[in-house]
Amino acid sequence: MGTDASPTVTGHLVAGLLAGYGIAVPVGAVAAHLMALTARTSLRTGACAALGVATADGVYALVAMVAGAAAAPVVLPLIGPLRWVSAGVLIALALRSAAHALATYRQPHTAGRNDEKPVTPARAYTSLLALTLLNPMTVIYFAALVVGSQTDATPDHLGQAVFTLAAFAASASWQLLLAGGGALVGRALTGRRGRLGTALASSSLIVALAVHLLVAAP
């Protein structure tokens, strides 16, 4: 029996890694927001935000494995409303970031940073967790896994755990890489104009991706 379990665990490990990287690697609005957040705060804050994204991916991977095809009728009808909610949240974040960057740039250099409310690592984690859970692309991706997953009478709990942890680890490794890139951008553009340009560029990209999300809706 031990020889039969090893290939099963290995298969779940590979499937989980592929699922995690499959949802994490395509750069979308959440990734752009993660890099912009890290660029204007710190690597520690960005790393916590990255783990928030990975946690959401892990949650959906767990749902896909545990619930199986039975969850499809519940998950699929939510995609439409979540698409609008996600787009609205992304646009609001982009506008808020752009407005804050302009206000900071127009203030005297000495007063600009003293009045800025810092983003704590805990706040970064929870905000990116919530944003990713609302992201319809994440829902659609893992809904496909839900529909295609098997529902055995005796579920493989070890395999489900391995798949979920592998998906989380894959997503976390990629999100941390993006956070590191955002930190490098933040260090390279330390001037006021550089930070303003980065904030406005990232906000424009996030708005464009949010609009595309709505326009591309079937």
Q: Please give the residue that has the higher pLDDT: either 125 or 15.
A: 125
Query: pLDDT by residue (tens digit) across 168-196?
Result: 999 999 999 989 988 887 776 656 666 67
Note if the pTM is more than 0.85. no
pLDDT recorded at residue 123:
92
Per residue in 130-173, pLDDT tens?
988 887 677 767 766 655 554 444 557 788 888 889 989 999 99
The predicted pLDDT at position 174 comes to 92
What lies within 8 Å, CB to CB, of 99 at 6+ separation is: none
* Residue scoring higher pLDDT (10 or 214): 10
Cβ atoms of residues 167 and 173 within 8 Å: no
Q: Residue ranges per domain, the chain?
A: 2-215
Task: Pick left, alpha or beta for residue 68 (phi over 0 → left; psi -120 to 50 → alpha; otherwise beta).
Answer: left
Q: How far apart are CA 77 and CA 143, in angstroms?
A: 11
CA-based nearest residue to 187, from 56, 85, 57, 39: 39
Asked if residues 64 and 138 have their Cβ atoms less than 8 Å apart, the reply is no
SS3 155: coil
Whether the pLDDT of residue 202 is over 80: the answer is no
Give 140: exposed, middle or buried? Use CB within 10 Å, 0-12, 13-18, 19+: middle
Query: Which pLDDT does position 3 carry in this prediction?
Result: 46
> Is 154 in a helix, a strand, or coil?
coil
Confidence band for 126, pLDDT divided at 50, 70 and 90: very high
Over residues 54-66, the mean pLDDT reads: 85
Contact criterion met (CB below 8 Å) for 76 and 203:
no
- State yes or no: pLDDT of 111 exceeds 50: no
Q: What average pLDDT does the segment 198-212 reach?
A: 72
Helix (H) or strand (E) holding 86: helix 79-106
